[in-house]
Structure 1
Amino acid sequence: MTHDGTPDPYADPLVFGQRFQLLRTRKGMTRQQVGGLLGRSASWVKAVETGRLKTPKLDVILRIAELLRVRDLSELTGDQSLHISLFSGPGHRRLAAVQDAANAFPVATTHHEAPPIEHLRARLARAWQARHSAPNHREVVGALLPDLIRDAQLAVRQADRAPERRTAQSALAEVYSLSQFFIAYQPDAALLWRVAERGMVAAQESEDPHAIGVAAWLAAQAHRDSGPAQFDAADAVNLATLRYLEPLLADASDDVRAIAGALTFEAGYTAARRGETGTAWRYWDQARAMADRLAADYYHPVTSFSRAIMGAHAVTVAVELHAGGEAVRQAVAADTLTIPSRPRRARHRIEEARGYHLDGQPDVALTTLDKAHEAAPETIKYNGYAKRIVLEEAESKSPARRQRASQLAQKLGLMAA
């Protein structure tokens, strides 16, 4: 039993339908909502939950797992042999060191002198560059983060004057932002939320509009990725920050204008997750107009917001709206090669693969996932959407497709070699 008296779907030998119902209600979703997003009726959902219909096939189970953000298939199926993490990857070998640094009491006495802010900023710039250029970006960033976290915290504690302290808080907020990229989709959701909240506090203390925008952008994503029950919270953070930034944009730097554009697209992303087609594309249009006002070669170092990214964002909107044909059309129009960040390029390839899969082109989807793996293996390894496609096609009736999917599954650690 849980603390509120409801059965725990992980502790008791419940059947699939009961687990489905409990996980759905915990996400705050109605049968009509779930059925609509699955292309089924509310009565179909009820029939599965009550056992009047048998357990669906694997492809449907995987779609349900994706929709409910189930992190391990065994949570939904009850089969403890299916320890397949969908929306979290295996704990990275650098995670423990990052956890230790982030969890350390930040006012502990130390005799070390904090590095100059200029030095911290230079290290952060190198870390962001490494994240965008390295195929094993989690490995590289994970090695840099522990010292960055400790030194940035130390810089805040040792700042004597208010201007110095605000500058140090801005650097600390950026370190926490970088940390969230490393921690995301790893098996420590509590740490992700602690770091996100600390980043918001540091950004507010810095009074730096860019730092505030980046922290809000990441917080909105964390809320949205928690499931439909948190979509309103994502919008609240997103839209409040846009209202704060709007009066500043006329005289703002490119970075501030870019983070406003990134937040505008995020509002569209959340609308697409809700299935609100008109609202999603309206925000995308607004974001595109904001991107067009940036220099052609500008690329935001954190969010990747730029002219080049808008084609990729269009694919994402179409995919989240479950419009396979439109997603493919946008994928053909988008120029993947103009995205300089390897993990962002891999993420775009995964979104393209989702579009092809929705459009009934599984072979093209697998080819596109191979390209994602080539761009950044540590991106696709932690992506639940990519893993769902691979696992589904590993059960394909086509021997050739089944073999291709199985080979990719081995690369992702989903199947033994």
Structure 2
Amino acid sequence: MASDGTPDPYADPLVFGQRLQILRTRRGITREQLGGLLGFTGSWVKGVESGRLKTPKLEIILRIAEILRVADLADLTGSQTVHVDLFVGPGHPRLAAVKAAVDAYPVRSEHEAPPVAHLRARLDRAWAARHRSPHHREVVGSLLPDLIRDCQAAVRQSDGAGQRRAAQAVLSETYALCQFFVAYQPDAALLWRVAERCLIAAQESEDARAIGVAAWLAGQAHRDSGPAHFGAADAVNLESLEYLMPLLPDAPDEVLAVAGALTFEAGYTAARRTETGTAWRYWDQARAMAERLPADYYDPITSFSRAIMGAHAVTVAVELHAGSESVRQAAAADADTIRSRPRRARHRIEEARGYQLDGQPDVALATLDKAYEAAPETIKYNGYAKRIVLEETESKNPARRRRASELAVKMGVLAA
């Protein structure tokens, strides 16, 4: 029995339909919502949950797992032979050290904190290293523990309100970098702890940029928690935009960029709700903000820029389940203009989702190969990529099945 009183989906003898009902209810999704996202009706979902209809094929099970963001496929199927982490990665080797640095509660300073300018330079180098590296979690995970400890010490040892606010801004951005590392790893509580500390430090800094970045990441955490949390995602995004909007006429590029990123996030959440008009309206507003930035500007945290808007258009179309529009937007987007390797890999995954929606599985797999080339540590932690690959390992086409299986082995989804 779970802490909220609902049955544990691991417990026997629960069958597929019962597990589906439990997991769907926990995500706050109605039968009609789930059925609509799958291309079925609420009555069909009820039939599966009640056992009146048989267990769906693997393709549908994987789509259900994607919608419900089921961490382990065995939670849904009940079979202990199909442990596949979808939206939770395997746990990076450096996770324990990062977690220890976050969890520490130092009340005394055992060493003199570096100057804020020095911390700022280290943080900038860390972001740059993340964007350059195909193994970005390894790079970031090696830098974070010392950076977190030094930034915390800088806040404690601040001399005066101004210095303390500056230190809080750097600490907030360090937690933002940490959230990128922690996301999709098997410690949801740690993710939320980091997100909340990022918000608190940003508020204490009174820095518009830091406040916007913290809100941008918190909104994503809420949105990725499922439909029951979409309202919280909207509240964080839109309230932060309301705070930033009066500043924009004279704002530096970095503040305008974070406002643009927040605007797109509101559209992303609308797309998850399948609110087509609202999603594209926010995308249009974000594009207008991007056009106010210099042509070569690329935000080191949000990736917001003119170059990213094509990738964002693909994401909106995919979340709206518009296959042909996704492919059209993918053809118009230029992945090579995305400077960040992990962000470029993420875009390739979104393109692959579009091709899969459009009934082009071979192109989808080829696109996932490109994602793997750009950043293996991105695709290995991405549930959408895993779903596509697993689905195609069951293909009736031998060549496609072999290609999918080879990619699944590289991703660590299947054993060699």
Do both proteins adopt the same fold according to a TM-score greater than 0.5, normalized to the shorter chain?
yes
Paired residue type of 2:408: A
SS at match of 1:111: coil
Distance 2:189 2:6 in 1: 23
Query: CA 1:371 to 1:92, structure 2 compared with 1: closer, same or farther past 3 Å?
Result: same
Give the drift of 1:345: 0.3
Offset from partner CA, 1:275-318 (integer Å, 9 cap, x none): 00000000000000000010000001100000000000000000
| 2:85 corresponds to | 85
| 1:359 corresponds to | 358
Paired residue type of 2:142: A
Offset from partner CA, 1:225-268 (integer Å, 9 cap, x none): 00000000000000000000000011111000000000000000
Give the drift of 1:11: 2.7
| 2:408 corresponds to | 409
| 1:66 corresponds to | 66
Distance 1:3 1:309 in 2: 42
Paired residue type of 2:311: A
| 2:305 corresponds to | 306
What TM-score, normalized by structure 2, do the two folds share?
0.99
SS at match of 2:83: coil
| 1:271 corresponds to | 270
Distance 2:341 2:8 in 1: 40
| 1:155 corresponds to | 154
Paired residue type of 1:264: T
Offset from partner CA, 1:33-87 (integer Å, 9 cap, x none): 0000110001100000000111101000000000001000000001111110000
**RMSD between superposed Cα atoms in Å:** 0.7
Instruction: Point out 4+ residue stretches in structure 1 off by more than 3 angstroms.
Output: none
Distance 1:100 1:112 in 2: 18
| 1:181 corresponds to | 180
In the alignment of these two chains, the number of paired residues is 416
Offset from partner CA, 1:156-210 (integer Å, 9 cap, x none): 0000200000000000000000000000000001000000000000000000000
Matched, 1:5 2:9: no
What does 1:135-154 align with in structure 2 at a 5 Å threshold?
135-154=134-153
Paired residue type of 1:26: R
Q: Which segment drifts farther, 198-207 or 1-10?
A: 1-10
Distance 1:333 1:106 in 2: 51
SS at match of 1:18: helix
Q: Which runs of 5+ in 2 are unaligned?
A: none
| 1:233 corresponds to | 232
Give the drift of 1:2: 2.6
Matched, 1:42 2:42: yes
Distance 1:273 1:110 in 2: 45
| 2:164 corresponds to | 165
SS at match of 2:245: helix
SS at match of 1:24: helix
| 2:381 corresponds to | 382
Paired residue type of 1:383: N
Distance 1:252 1:4 in 2: 46
Distance 1:49 1:157 in 2: 54
Offset from partner CA, 1:112-138 (integer Å, 9 cap, x none): 000011110110011000000000000
| 1:393 corresponds to | 392
| 2:33 corresponds to | 33
SS at match of 2:306: coil
| 2:343 corresponds to | 344
Matched, 1:321 2:335: no
Paired residue type of 1:43: S
Offset from partner CA, 1:303-336 (integer Å, 9 cap, x none): 0000000000000000000000000000000011
Give the drift of 1:4: 4.1
Query: CA 1:132 to 1:378, structure 2 compared with 1: closer, same or farther past 3 Å?
Result: same
Matched, 1:76 2:80: no
Give the drift of 1:110: 2.8
Paired residue type of 2:49: E
What does 1:123-142 align with in structure 2 at a 5 Å threshold?
123-142=122-141
Distance 1:126 1:197 in 2: 24
What is the aligned-residue identity percentage?
77
| 1:96 corresponds to | 96
| 2:251 corresponds to | 252
Paired residue type of 2:269: T
Paired residue type of 1:195: V
Give the drift of 1:338: 0.5
SS at match of 1:86: coil
Distance 1:403 1:243 in 2: 51
Give the drift of 1:9: 1.3
Distance 2:387 2:256 in 1: 36
Give the drift of 1:10: 1.9
Offset from partner CA, 1:16-41 (integer Å, 9 cap, x none): 00000011111111110000011000
Distance 2:62 2:205 in 1: 43
